[in-house]
Amino acid sequence: MQGEAVETNYSHVLQSEIGRAPQPGVLLRNVHSIYHAQFGRWFGIMAPTSLLAGLVLVLADQQIRAINRSITRGEVLFHKGDLLAMGAVRYGSFFLSWLLGCFALAAIATAVNDLDRGDEVEGWKRDSYQRAREHLGGLIASALITFSAFLLGAFAMSFIELAAIVRWSHFSKYNYPVTVIGMVLIAILVSWLGASIPLILKGNTPVGAALKKSVELSNGYEGALFLLVAESVAGSMIVWYAVVHSLPLFLPQHLIHTAWYGWLLNAVGVLAASTIDAPLFIGLSLIADPERLNASPLVASELTA
């Protein structure tokens, strides 16, 4: 992805003068300052990966429905192969979508942390995904580990919800809000591992060491990560709701009932929601580079106040 270098406005204050204490308030302000300064660039990174992820999920859903239609009602137990195929397609599509999100994080980290500096060759500048491709193995390994952690958390939460419903029958009416809150909490815990991807892109950092260092660097930024994850989840839900209810107002009524309307609705919703996730990825990128974050004039001004 071509574009101008990120204007982070960092001063050249010595690290020893600034200190290494976590600055969650500074992180949040820097995240949104960087996000708004080059909104177009982040959208250009997020849009293609988000569209591909959405396409993967839609195609997987269609395949699962096709398999399900081939199973005669009452004969589910005789179609164990089909059930395994549906599970493989479903969770395989989830992982591919997760992996595409990791590619987007890698591209944003490349831009935010200036990892592509000096990559110009004979007047050409490599795109923001170049570093991700160069560290493809580590990126896939990190994506698999973080996805597995999220999946285990989701399974554990489902088991707890099922136990609660069995114990208290009236609990079922609270199932949806509890599920959303649970998913947010799990995402927050997994986000402590998110800085591993920017660390892997820097090179010479094994996946295990990057994951461990990511947790260490996230120490003190739990509140900031909570706000960034909550902003991403709530923002995406609000945007999807707005698209579903507002898009029909801008289209002729007869077009809403056409076969391609569902594809259009999904594409617009995905593109709109993709603008919401970039701040979280910018925050993880800054957490992975404490010197860049701590060299911010915002930190210096707070320490001297």
Secondary structure class of 183 (helix, strand, coil): helix
Task: Give the model's confidence band at 119: pLDDT under 50 very low, under 70 low, under 90 confident, else very high.
Answer: low
Please tell me the predicted confidence (pLDDT) of residue 296.
55
Mean pLDDT of 10-27: 56
Residues 6+ apart with CB under 8 A from 30: 8, 286, 293, 296, 298
Helices (H), the chain: 15-18, 24-37, 39-69, 80-112, 130-134, 136-167, 175-191, 196-201, 207-218, 222-246, 253-256, 261-287, 290-294, 297-304
Give the global pTM.
0.81
Residues 6+ apart with CB under 8 A from 124: none
Task: Give the model's confidence band at 69: pLDDT under 50 very low, under 70 low, under 90 confident, else very high.
Answer: confident
CA-based nearest residue to 58, from 229, 262, 305: 262
Task: Give the model's confidence band at 51: pLDDT under 50 very low, under 70 low, under 90 confident, else very high.
Answer: very high
pLDDT at 141 over 90: yes
pLDDT at 72 over 80: no
